[in-house]
Structures are given as structure tokens and as C-alpha cells.
Structure 1
Amino acid sequence: MSTRFINLGAFLLAGLLVAVIPRAHALNVDKYPALQSLIDEMAEQYGYAPQKLRKTFRCARIRPEIIEAMERPKELLPWYEYSKIFLTEENVQRGAQFWKKHAAALARAGEEYGVPPETVVAIIGVETQFGRNKGNIPILDALTTLTLEYPARAAFFRRELTEFLLLARELDVDACGIKGSYAGAMGLPQFMPSNYRRFAVDFDANGTRDILDDPEDAIGSVALYLKQHGWEAGAPVADEANLEGTRYFWVEKFGIKPTLPLRQLASYGIFPRRHENAERRAALISLEGEYGPFYRLGYNNFYVITRYNHNKRYAMAVYELGERIRQHMEPKPLP
């Protein structure tokens, strides 16, 4: 989470893991100087016993399928394909059930952090189908494989491996036993270890910060994460964009971070569908339809969702799924 292409729904692994791939193999610490260096660092900085860490790493496996998965993230799919994975009637129904079951916790998260229930529910839905698919790869395998065999991002995953070992000690659990996604994300909200340590909260006050299995802790943790990354309570997330002329093309190049106020976007022929504060900043978001691109306005809260997963398709899937779940929850008029 909070790094590009990390927090993919764990259920997307199912097809990958049955493909014909090289077999995972046990780890020989002595063959990896980088791993020995990490063990020495953990001993010096955090007081770990080197032999205990070596024993921990003996349960790790190098998994080639993890590298394959990193090379083909689903966020690279065009929107019209990507959206079909998440924007389903089944997810709407399950999202409504999750909301009803945890209504009190969602309401309290909204009061404390300003994040509406539909956004929290949708993130958990996109990440793990509301806890049904949290991933079945040992986190130690994932982070060790990516640290040693994925040089493009080895430094990042080395830091996350360090954070994971610290987290396992804090939680007093066996590092070999925690499972999650191929990128090392875990629990209902698929937090990376560093984010678990920084943002996970004991939202039900039972003495444990458990986002692995506790929906209430996951709800509070997602809401806190969004607030800490700049969520604005009561502010819009996105809107349809009405376009005039061709000057909007230049605004699209500015990226997904809102930089221009709506009054200035109007001079480029870009107008929101709904009336909004002319000083509110927005980005022009292009998405791939089956018959060509279409456009949305993304406000600050849309950008905040991309801090969870740095991809506009992910953020739009969260927004649209949340909207559908919210509408499903609204009272239906009597006939």
C-alpha cells in the first residue's frame, strides 16, 4: 500500500498461481550476502540475535511466481477491463452486508477521521473482497524474494522486510506464519508492514492492533491512513467532466494531483457536472472506455485514495464501488 502497484486484490493471484512456473526453493542464507548484511544490521540496530534471524530465514522460500506477478500488475489493464473485476453486483451486495454488520465502527470512523463509510468499505472490498481473499503467500517469502531477486525495487522491499521483522516481534507472532499478497501486503486492508506499524489502530480497544483478522481494527486503520494523507471531511471525491473545445488536452498532462482551481479549468473548457466551489482544485482524469477515452474530475480526496495505491484506475474503482454501495444502502421510496 501507498506504493505503486502494491495493494492489488489478493484474489487476482488465483489464476497466476496455477500457471506453469518454476518451483519455489528453500533459502540458503550463506548464498546471499545481501541477506547476511540485513541480519547484521538487524542485530546491531534492533538487538536481534543473528542465529535466531538465520533460523527465521531458513523457513523462507524464493518464489519466481512473485517476480512474474510484479511484472504484470492488473492496474495496467485498460479501465473497461479493470473495472469489471471490482464493479460487480456481487461486490455491491457484499459491501452492503459488510456495512450493515460493522455500521457502528464505520460511523465512529467517520466521526473521528472524517472518512465516509462507503470509501472505507470500498477499499476493503477492492483489496480483499471484504476479507474473503487476504492472500495465501507467506509474507516472509514475498519480501525476501523481492529483496533478493527484484533489483528494480530491492531497496524498497528491503526496508519493508525490516519493518516486517520488527512488526512480527511487536505482535509476538511467528514471522514464518503470516500470509498475504505477493508484494508483502497483509490483512483486510492489505497494508504493507511499514504502514501496519505506522497506521494500524486498536479501534475496538481490545488491546491488539489486528488488521489481519479484525474488521473493526481494519476500518479504523483505513480511515486513519486516509486522514493522515490529507482526506478532507465532507469534500467531494470526483465528478463527471464536461469538455468544450480541445484545450483540455494540456491539463491532462498535469497528472492526477489537483493543481488548478475550477475557475481556471473553465478557461481550458473543463467544467464539473455538479456545481462546486470555483476555488476547489481538480485534476483531469482520463480513463479508457471500450470505444475511446472519457474524462472525470478528480479532487483532493481522489488524490488521497491514490496514496493508498498510486494508480488512477484503482482510485476510480474505489470511488465508483463506494458510490454503488452507498446508493444500495439508501432507503428505497415506498411504491
Structure 2
Amino acid sequence: MDRTGLIRVNNLKQAWRGWLVRSTHWIGLAAALGLSGTALAGDYEGSPQVAEFIAEMTRDHGFAGEQLVALFREAERKQAILDAISRPAEKVKPWKDYRPIFITDARISKGVDFWNQNAEALARAEQEYGVPAQVIVAIIGVETFYGGNTGSWRGLDALSTLCFDYPPRAQFFCQQLKELLLLSREEQVDPLTLKGSYAGAMGLPQFMPSSFRAYAVDFDGDNHINIWSNPVDAIGSVASYFKRHGWVAGDPVVSRAQVKGEQADSGLTVGLDPVKTVGELRALGWSSADVLRDDIPVTAFRFDGAEGEEYWMGLPNFYVITRYNRSSMYAMAVHQLSEALLAKRSGR
């Protein structure tokens, strides 16, 4: 980059960090912000969508229009992201193939190391939020291998690409782009430095910007929330997310079931919402390996396991895990990894 370019980027960063936010009166897009066809250089030059987005952020959230114009000059449209998100969905793996991806000796050993290195923060999170340390560690282990793979895409590029160039989910990703800019202002960080997955998920726990603003916490008390490189904040933020979604301290996650009779499969849950109770499943031929109250709502599911069919009752805490990632196999992988971590660390 030449000297002029460096000065321009440095000025942008200084302006963003300063955040002297002022109101811009909406007099019409071109008049208020000076957005002509040449106002935006680069991939989004002349884009009416970007101009409208900037106008909305200035009008509704008090951003300075010239700061956003400068910022979006730096945004890059990433064809690789559009290619990735547009690929046909892979065939869903059966549990017998899915489980070995996440329940590995390497992931368990690395998880115990992460636990030992962050034992104080994990113990404090468990005490404050009621979420077991092993569950928090398992989430971070499944999401990013304990911070080893948090993503290298600039969030601004990823979310701009998906907001402005991916119509099927533009509404969702435009909202996430707004949330990214808001969290950048709130945390006083340069939005060009925030990196994550190609879909905009960030940091050790892979929070989308909206989840960051709703659930992330400053768990080390330094007045900044850093889930990218600060495991303490990441730990507290995962625990906060679970607590806010209804995690009940001390309650189990799943119970193995046995089934008999012709009506048993009619008890299987379509989707993830717990629409039947333990008592209703009993009436359909289900029995639990554990003593459970009849009024407990459950998600009933069947997996194709390595040794044949497995029937399970997912209890309310299981449902909480599915709020993090809407997949019963994901939730079970987190649960079983958490059990393996606890056993390994306890020497069992």
C-alpha cells in the first residue's frame, strides 16, 4: 500500500476509535451524505444497497455518515464466501460417522489442557451461571478446537458480501452487519480487525454479532469484551448464553431410552422442540434408564449408532444446547465430549 493509502486507513482507524458520534439529519441520501456514484470506491462503488444501509445506520443509530463511507471503501466482496454458502448441503452424516469427528483423543486431551489453564475462570463461571465447566469447555472445543480455528475472514467483508450479494438470506446478514458495527462502536474496536468464519461467527465460541451484543460478558473485568483472544471472556460468555437460554444447574442432559411396541416411533420428535412429556412417551412404549418425572418435556430422538439404533430422551438442558446450534447430533456431541473431558480430568 502506498503512503496515501496508509494515511487513509490510519485516519479511518483513528476516527473509528474516537467515535465522536453525531446526528446526521436525513435530507435525502445524496444531500445528507454526499453519496454520489463515486462516493464509494472498491467493490461497493455506486451500490444503492450500501448507500441505503449507510443512510439507515446514520439515521437510526447516530453513526457519522462519512465514517461509514470510509469504512465501506475498505469492504471487499468475497466470491469464495458466496460459493461456499451456495453449495448444496452435504448429506447429513449418521451419528456413527458424526460422533468420531468430535469425540477424539486429541480433542479430549487438548480440552483438559484448556480446562487446567483456565480452571479459575471455569469454576467462577460454574458458580455464577450454574453451567458445568466441562460443558463450557466442550462448546469451545467443538466450535473452534479451543481457539485453534476461529476463522480468518474479516467480519466486515463476510457480512457485507452476504448482506449485499446473497439475496436468499440478506435480511439476516444485513442485521448481523448492523450488529457488527454497533458492537465495534460499543467495544471501541476497529471493525476491520474483527475476524471470524465466512458466515460472520466470531471468536473462541463463534458468536454471531447479535449473540455477542446480547450474551457476551466482560468476565475478567477489564472493561472490554474480547472473545477473540481472551479465553476468560469467552468462558463467561458461553456460560451467560446458556444461563439466558434456560440452563438449569444440576439437571441432567439426556437419558437413554428403550422402546417397545408399534407406537414407539410415533413418539419421535419432529424438529427439536420438546413437544411430548416423559409420561406421554411412556404411554407410547418408551422407558428411561433414569428415574424421571412424568411432566418433564423432552425431545425424543433416534440415532444410527455404531452398534445399532439408539433411542434417547433429550431433557430441558439438552434443548438449551440446541439453542446454540440447532442440531440434535451437535448437542449430543457437546454432551458426550463434556463427559469425556470430565472423566479424563478426573482420572477415570
Mapped partners of 2:76, 2:309: distance in 1: 43
Q: Is the 8 A contact 2:272 2:326 kept in 1?
A: no
For this pair of structures, how many residues does the alignment match?
307
Mapped partners of 1:55, 1:129: distance in 2: 35
Aligned to 1:67: 82
Aligned to 1:17: none
Q: Does 1:298 align with 2:298?
A: no
Code of the residue aligned with 1:241 in structure 2: it is A
TM-score, normalised via structure 2 length: 0.83
Mapped partners of 2:91, 2:205: distance in 1: 17
Q: Is the 8 A contact 2:196 2:202 kept in 1?
A: yes
Query: CA 1:218–1:231 in structure 2 vs 1: closer, same or farther (change >3 Å)?
Result: same
Greater Cα offset, 231-240 or 268-277: 268-277
Could you report, residue by residue, the CA deviation over 1:195-236 in whole angstroms, capped at 9, with x for unpaired residues? 111111111112211111111111111001011011111111
Mapped partners of 1:75, 1:160: distance in 2: 28
- Map of 1:27-42 to 2, 5 A cutoff? 27-42=42-57
Larger Rg over CA atoms: 2
Q: Does 1:322 align with 2:338?
A: yes
Percent identity over paired residues: 43
Aligned to 2:170: 154
- The CA deviation at 1:308 is 0.7
- Map of 1:190-269 to 2, 5 A cutoff? 190-269=206-285
Aligned to 1:3: none
Aligned to 1:50: 65
Mapped partners of 1:117, 1:72: distance in 2: 36
Greater Cα offset, 78-87 or 241-250: 78-87
Gaps of 5+ in 2: 1-40
Mapped partners of 2:303, 2:47: distance in 1: 43
Mapped partners of 2:249, 2:53: distance in 1: 41
Code of the residue aligned with 1:259 in structure 2: it is V
- The CA deviation at 1:263 is 2.1
Gaps of 5+ in 1: 1-25
The structure showing larger relative contact order (alpha-carbon pairs under 8 Å, at least 6 residues apart) is 1
Query: CA 1:237–1:72 in structure 2 vs 1: closer, same or farther (change >3 Å)?
Result: farther
Mapped partners of 2:271, 2:164: distance in 1: 33
Greater Cα offset, 149-158 or 159-168: 149-158
Aligned to 2:142: 126
Q: Is the 8 A contact 1:284 1:297 kept in 2?
A: yes
Mapped partners of 2:310, 2:83: distance in 1: 31
Query: CA 1:40–1:76 in structure 2 vs 1: closer, same or farther (change >3 Å)?
Result: farther
Greater Cα offset, 226-235 or 45-54: 45-54
Aligned to 2:294: 278
Q: Is the 8 A contact 1:27 1:62 kept in 2?
A: no
Aligned to 2:4: none
Code of the residue aligned with 1:267 in structure 2: it is A
Mapped partners of 1:196, 1:208: distance in 2: 12
Code of the residue aligned with 1:41 in structure 2: it is E
Mapped partners of 1:297, 1:33: distance in 2: 50
Code of the residue aligned with 1:211 in structure 2: it is I
Mapped partners of 1:78, 1:50: distance in 2: 50
Q: RMSD of the alignment, in Å? A: 1.9
- The CA deviation at 1:119 is 0.8
Mapped partners of 2:91, 2:71: distance in 1: 33
Which of the residues 116, 120, 129 maps onto 1:113? 129
